[in-house]
Structure 1
């Protein structure tokens, strides 16, 4: 499949966007309700446990899904091997989490982390039994089943978490909701897909040949995204940790919820055209343009209106989140530029390059945080994160140009220049509003969103027309809207 079949790709992307946004809407509503029922300290305890669990749990996602998606005609034995590998790794992961809980509590200086980690280790173990056949929902673009799987698992966790929060009013509500979500996920996976995997290592070599590099890449990626939280958890109290973690989660919503659905649809499409370097180049430049057109203005816009967002959605007790949200939103806007580059490397099988990028950013962050800023506070740690992802951005462009020799640096810059310029214009308009208009936080937030969105779209369209309507996100969305209108008439 390629983007020469625009309607199927667009519909798939739209369906996945709806699916992802529904999932995140439930998550956001849950977070907002819990923020009113609980305190930053509760979020901090769960964040402390989750980071350690995530570091170990990264072994659960070692890339067996990538190996199966890249294989155009996988046999049942491939699925059995992938399921077996995942089961073995999740057993080790859950055991390590359970027995390392006291050490994590010593690291954070909070004994409450121990029982939380041990119960969540059980959830990690349960999740390993999910039906490996559900990978075909993405591989075969069966988005209806993918949506059902996601929705029912999320809604069950949501209902139980909120109910428990009303009753016990502490962090255990989050633990209970997570366990229920894991159990429901396993049940749903076998209800929605007929595959019944069994223990087998027949195709172990083929699956693990890709998975071992995905393992290295996944660990590096996890450390890249979470090492800063490890340090904050060590140097700050649980309340600061909770605020920092929530700020990171909110700041990442624009990129994760807008780009992840697009990537989920286009990754299988890119795999199918990977031998046609001309088409792959076209697809990459278009993907790069679409991602930056959407994610950069939303991330930067969120940073600019952070104080009003926190005041309206979370309440005054969460104002400590504001500086973290502002700085980390910049991190996620930079990551939006590198995302499509990473998918090109995965598509072409250069998993080790993806691993190199992630680990390089980890090393860069360690140098800044431990050597240059050894006594850094939470805000300074967030700034160090910005610097490390900027280094990663330069490296990923270098590796991409090495792998895709038919792509030039100026072509990449051209694909992202228009949304960057339009975002600057939008930012100036929001600064102007804050200077000349004084409103309540709610009306200020609404005004800034409406004006910022209008100015950005107008500026982007004007720049596109000024440059002679070049190929990119603007022409792509315009063409698809025309196609959909014709089909509906």
Structure 2
């Protein structure tokens, strides 16, 4: 009996159900992976030093850049009306060409990197060259699952690579006690992602540029826009490392890593639903603006309380999970967590711009933002680590304002509409903050770990209950308008009915 391979373009599920199921699947995957990621971070943070994390920050930024740019090459497959074998071969060819080019650039960059006077970075350049080729070898056909709103395979890819990475990095860090554990684990994890894509979406790629016009016209602006955005997002880390030293760079890396866990990485799989979902709505309906508003409200309802909650328990989390040496990273979380959550609407704006085909707008926006961020950080580092943190916060505010300017193209409301659609989330967060701070004042006594753990868990429990109940109460008082809450209750109802039928 032959095994039937999955079809990337099913038509059995309705559009709304497919998007909802995909989001739920990826969220569950994200919760598991980031829970594992937090455990991995806690272990490696206790085994390695801030200087190790300062060095590895450069390596991980370069790795993320390679992965982000390679993904942009294939994004055209989601937008196109019809995808042919020629498109798949062309995308794969561009992936390989870009991988070879970036590998050569890393290899040739030794004289420039030597100017930074950090010997460890020179040792990492050959690894980055090899990694550029590894990341390039992935099946373009795998993206057709996202195009068809089937996100379970993407969840499998993310989970599989995270498990492999965690096993390797914890094992090597235990024996080596230096940053090479993270380097090798990252290399292995990326290789396993490529294996997964070809195993699930097999194809025999050919080197062909027959559809280069469709791919290049979209990807060139898209890559430029994403490159500028990536540099503006990582400029604070790079500038802190080059001016304030590896120890401060390591503290900033740990703080932003914790922030990114809850504002980006935990929900990054859900972000993969946004672009295909909006693209599908754009192709088949005229509800793109309504979908844009609903997504903005949904992201704020989820990310805002989680990020504010992290800021409220940051001291407890870092002290119990990572240890005393990482306590200065607490102020990174305090300043950046809420701002990063507000910046989550940028993902929706970027998806809407991709669908509209106006990727040049994103490119110019991100280039201007890059200049602003570098200028702010240059001023901030003159006032040491605290000044750099305030500059990073100001850069996030600048990015949010520029995002709101572009967002006006996709809504019917005013300048702040992408934020005001989540007014119930803002009010519920305010009530939650008061409740958690009250618990903090009432229960805080002593600094030994068991006491801190109990206080921290109590603050989390109070925050979850107060935020959820306040949000629902505000929704009911507003007349139960159609929005994020409606979608959540609908999903819960469907799940309950499904479970009821299974147990009947």
TM > 0.5? yes
Residues 90, 208 of structure 2: 8 Å contact kept: yes
Match of 1:460 among 465, 471, 489: 471
Matched, 1:16 2:22: no
The answer to whether the aligner puts 1:46 opposite 2:51 as a matched pair is no
Match of 2:405 in 1: 398
Native 8 Å contact 2:380 2:389 kept in 1: no
What residue is the counterpart of 2:382 in the other structure? Answer: 375
CA distance change for structure 1 residues 467 and 232 in 2, over 3 Å: closer, same or farther? same
The answer to whether structure 1 residue 342 and structure 2 residue 350 are counterparts is yes
Structure 2 Cα separation of the partners of residues 47 and 482 of structure 1: 44
Mark the CA change 1:76 to 1:104 in structure 2 (over 3 Å): closer, same or farther.
same
Q: How does 1:293-312 map to 2 (within 5 A)?
A: 293-312=301-320
Aligned residues: 484
Matched, 1:331 2:349: no
Q: Matched residues in 1 for 2:195 and 2:290: separation?
A: 41
The residue aligned with 2:3 is: none
Structure 1 residue 105 displacement after superposition? 4.2
Q: Who is 2:4 aligned against? A: none
The 3 A distance-change label for structure 1 pair 411 and 248 is closer
SS at match of 1:173: helix
Q: 1:116 to 1:70 in 2, by over 3 A?
A: same
Alignment check: 8 A CA contact 1:289 1:473 kept: yes
What displacement does 1:51 show?
Answer: 3.2
Q: Does the 8 A contact of 1:19 with 1:147 survive in 2?
A: yes
| Selected match of 2:269 from 234, 252, 261 | 261
Shift of 1:420: 0.7
- In 2 relative to 1, CA 170–249 (structure 1 residues): closer, same or farther, beyond 3 Å? same
Deviation digits for residues 177-217 of structure 1, max 9, x if unmatched?
12222332333332222212111111111101000111111
Instruction: Tell me the equivalent position of 1:191.
Output: 199
Quote the residue 2:47 is aligned against. Answer: 37
1:45-124 equivalent positions in 2, closer than 5 A: 45-52=55-62, 54=64, 57=66, 60-61=69-70, 63-107=72-116, 109-124=117-132
- Aligned partner of 2:487 in structure 1 is 476
Which 4+ residue blocks in structure 1 deviate beyond 6 angstroms?
A: none
Aligned equivalent of 2:219: 211
TM-score, normalised to structure 2's length? Answer: 0.90
Go from structure 1 to structure 2 and tell me whether the alpha carbon gap of 1:251 and 1:438 turns closer, same or farther (over 3 Å shift): same
Q: CA deviation at 1:239?
A: 1.9
Aligned-partner Cα distance in 2 for 1:176–1:84: 27
Note the C-alpha offset of 1:302: 0.8
Q: Return the match for 1:129 from 119, 128, 137.
A: 137
Distance 1:263 1:407 in 2: 23
Could you list the runs of 5+ residues in structure 1 that have no partner in the other structure? none
SS in 1 for 2:163: helix
CA 1:353–1:472 in 2, change beyond 3 Å: closer, same or farther? Answer: same
Cα distance between partner residues in 1 of 2:416 and 2:224: 31
CA distance in 1, matches of 2:86, 2:286: 34
C-alpha contact 2:168 2:185 (8 A) present in aligned 1:
yes
Where does 1:403-422 land on structure 2 (aligned, <5 Å)?
403-404=409-410, 406-409=412-415, 411-422=417-428
- Which one is further off, 360-369 or 66-75? 360-369
Contact 1:50-1:117 within 8 A present in 2 as well: no
Most deviating of 117-126 and 66-75? 117-126
Report the TM-score, using the length of structure 1 for normalisation: 0.92
Match of 1:443 in 2: 454
Q: 1:412 to 1:100 in 2, by over 3 A?
A: closer
Query: How far apart are the structure 1 equivalents of 2:283 and 2:154?
Result: 28
Structure 1 Cα separation of the partners of residues 496 and 413 of structure 2:
34
In structure 2, the CA distance between the partners of 1:438 and 1:142, relative to structure 1 (3 Å rule), is same
What is aligned with 1:170?
A: 178
Partners of 2:341 and 2:411 in 1: CA distance: 26
Deviation at 1:88, TM superposition (A): 1.1
